[in-house]
A and B are shown apart, each in its own frame.
Chain A
Amino acid sequence: MTTANTEPKAHSHGLGQIPVSKLDTHGSYDVAAFPVPNGREEEWRFTPVRRLKGLHDWKGTADGTDETVVDAPEGVTFETVGRDDERLGKAGLPVNRVIAQAYTSFEEATVVTVPQSLVADKPITIDRQALGGTAFEQLVIDVKPMAEATVIISNTGTGVRAGSLDVHVGEGAKLTLVSLQEWDHDTVEVSQHNARVGKDASFKSVVITLGGDLVRLSPRVSYEGRGGNAELYGLYFAGDGQYHEHRSLIDHNVSNTRSRVDYKGALNGSGAHTVWIGDVIIGEGTTGTDSYENNRNLQLTDDTRVDSVPNLEIFTGEVAGAGHASATGRLDDIHLFYLRSRGIPEEEARRLIIRGYFLDIVNRIESQELRDRVMEKVERKLAAHE
């Protein structure tokens, strides 16, 4: 378990005293701006670089294909656009070489627009199945002022995928984004979610990562006006040999903004490794920021590794609230004992406890059907090692 960084730390780049989270705030569209990672850099130190299937030092051709099924309520538009569309790349710079590579290499992008004041009566669903190969992608979700929508992105299949998902939540708008990573066991994904949260707007993200060989996902939030609210929830469950890394950054660059980050993980099986990095920056000169982040991990078997690093950096004296918590533990044998003392067999008792553990995250998903699907997958992963 790694400890929290709340102080600026010296860094080996020769940049002198820079806060650790600042590492993640510089970015570029240019691949050459990032050296080829070798795994020893601060931002890559957890990631098994050699399992990136060449993404970190890309020399191949993007040959991947997807089958995507989209369902959207009336009024919501879907466009396939070229590289020169001016709406692309506006929510945040690529923060690592792989994302910059994706930005350099993509050929077509998708822009989803929820027009002003439209309150979508059903979720926008994007079911994407990767059919092999490597693909770079850009998706923009633009929720115009006062509009309200839920977007559910479901990722399945096999392949190597990298790219950005840009989210604009306009003034007074509300967006719930559910992103499911239910990849096949050999898939590699490196992606960045950039959210720009407008004045009095509200953004809720629910990231569910269950599949893949290696998933590295960086959700990032910044604000465009006061009253912006961002809630980031996450559930990950790494089985045998799986690597799941989630690194969020909330940049409270505007006064009177709120954020909550709550990620919960479980690990079950030999070599499962999860990483959670939670950066929160409370910007210079801002006032009234309210922020809290929490990460919990449950190691169901011994041969697993958890890294959990909250970073909270405050550059102002006027904060309404800022805190973080991180805890990693085993299944509580006294909880198990209590359930079993009522006749419930061990496997079922474990199942009940794991369900209970993830319940508050899963309940952030509105659709009962989707909640059931996630819980069912969780139970299947749990059963894999009984």
Chain B
Amino acid sequence: MTKFEIRGLRADVLISEDERQEILKGVDLTINSGETHAIMGPNGSGKSTLAYAIAGHPRYEITEGEVLLDGENVLDMEVDERARAGVFLAMQYPVEVPGVSMSNFLRSSVTSVRGEAPKLRQFSKELQGAMKNLSIDAAFAARGVNEGFSGGEKKRHEILQLELLKPKVAVLDETDSGLDVDALKIVSEGINRAQADSDLGVMLITHYTRILNYVKPDFVHVFSEGRIAESGGPELADVLESEGYERFAKAGA
């Protein structure tokens, strides 16, 4: 049983050497293992900022609050330590790292997170299986990390990493955007598999209720102007879909 708590989190985006802007204005959220929390909110409200701040992105700085994984402050950890502790972020815009092959990258990260190098044979079997489950062609393993991947291909690879790294909590930032109907289903199945596998806690950032038909949320939160403006059950998603965010934007202002 894992408890992931975000408490009073405030964060700035570092715009330049001497310019910064507060984006997160006090976020509180608790995710227990096995739970799925959908986060919905208007463009620019700070959802990705929240995701990046949790992961330790260098362009953001936390000014207040804590993020606890089973009581341990994740914010005191280095970026790679956070990942090894069991926090995973599927990025809205996965990064291309030219020249580093996907297979080398995956082997390095699995080795780091598991604390020992998997047997080569066993790992390539595991990798092949995981890729097949996500309908990723085997040829991708030899390509550079996300290098020239289409938007949808990048998203599938984020979920591939989720499945290989088996974290305790995963923040999925718009993993559904850019996916075609079939891919959406395939990726959703991947998320559900990961959850069934290891009782994963999920923070699912999305603009569309479409994915929520496959990945059933236990809670839906409205994110507006740097904080959670309202929380409810799955039915809140439908309200948002039909009515939009207008009243929350006003409430938050």
Contacts and interface: CB of A to CB of B under 8 A. Distances in A.
Nearest to B85: A343
Interface residues of B, number: 28
A327 to B, nearest CB: 13
Contact of B94 (A338, A355, A360): A338
A198 to B, nearest CB: 34
Given A333-B58, A337-B58, A348-B108, A342 B83 contact: yes
B58 A348 contact: no
- Most B C-beta atoms less than 10 A away, residue of A343, A345, A346, A353: A343
B80 A345 contact: yes
A357 B99 contact: yes
B99 A343 contact: no
Contacts, number: 82
Contacts of A346: 78, 80
A356 B100 contact: yes
A348 B83 contact: no
Interface in A326-346: 333-335, 337-346
Contact of B100 (A334, A340, A352): A352
A234 to B, nearest CB: 17
Contacts of B97: 335, 338-339, 352-353, 356
A23 interface: no
B144 A343 contact: no
Contacts of A344: 80, 105, 108-109, 112
B89 interface: yes
A10 interface: no
A33 interface: no
Contact of A340 (B80, B99, B165): B80
B143 to A, nearest CB: 12
Contacts of B105: 339, 342, 344, 352
B104 interface: yes
B83 A338 contact: no
Contact of B95 (A338, A348, A359): A338
Nearest to A346: B80
Interface string B62-99: 00000000000000001110111000010100110111
Contacts of B94: 338
B83 A352 contact: no
B6 interface: no
B210 interface: no
Nearest to A359: B99
A349 to B, nearest CB: 8
Contact of A360 (B84, B91, B99, B165): B99
A356 B112 CA distance: 19
B56 A341 contact: yes
Interface string B113-153: 10000000000000000000000000000001100000000
B104 to A, nearest CB: 7
B208 to A, nearest CB: 25
A352 B108 contact: yes
Contact of A335 (B82, B95, B165): B95
B191 interface: no
Contacts of A345: 80, 112
Given A335-B97, A337-B79, A355-B99, A343 B109 contact: yes
B57 interface: yes
B80 A355 contact: no
Contacts of A338: 91, 94-95, 97, 145
B169 interface: no
A335 B91 CA distance: 13
B49 interface: no
A237 to B, nearest CB: 15
B57 A337 contact: yes
B98 A342 contact: no
Contacts of B161: 342
Given A333-B58, A352-B105, A343 B100 contact: no
B55 interface: yes
Given A342-B161, A348-B112, A334 B144 contact: no
A57 B78 CA distance: 54
B100 A353 contact: yes
Contacts of B89: 341
A355 B57 CA distance: 23
A344 B108 CA distance: 7
Interface of B: 55-58, 78-80, 82-84, 89, 91, 94-95, 97-100, 104-105, 108-109, 112-113, 144-145, 161, 165
Interface of A: 333-335, 337-346, 348-349, 352-353, 355-360
23 contacts: A334-B58, A334-B95, A337-B57, A338-B95, A339-B108, A340-B56, A340-B78, A340-B80, A340-B83, A341-B80, A341-B82, A342-B105, A342-B112, A342-B165, A343-B84, A344-B108, A345-B112, A346-B78, A348-B108, A353-B97, A355-B99, A356-B99, A359-B99
Given A337-B58, A356-B144, A357-B98, 11 more contacts: A337-B55, A338-B145, A340-B79, A341-B89, A342-B105, A343-B80, A344-B108, A348-B112, A355-B100, A356-B99, A357-B99
Interchain residue pairs A-B with the least CB separation, the first 6: A356-B99, A342-B109, A343-B83, A338-B95, A343-B113, A343-B112
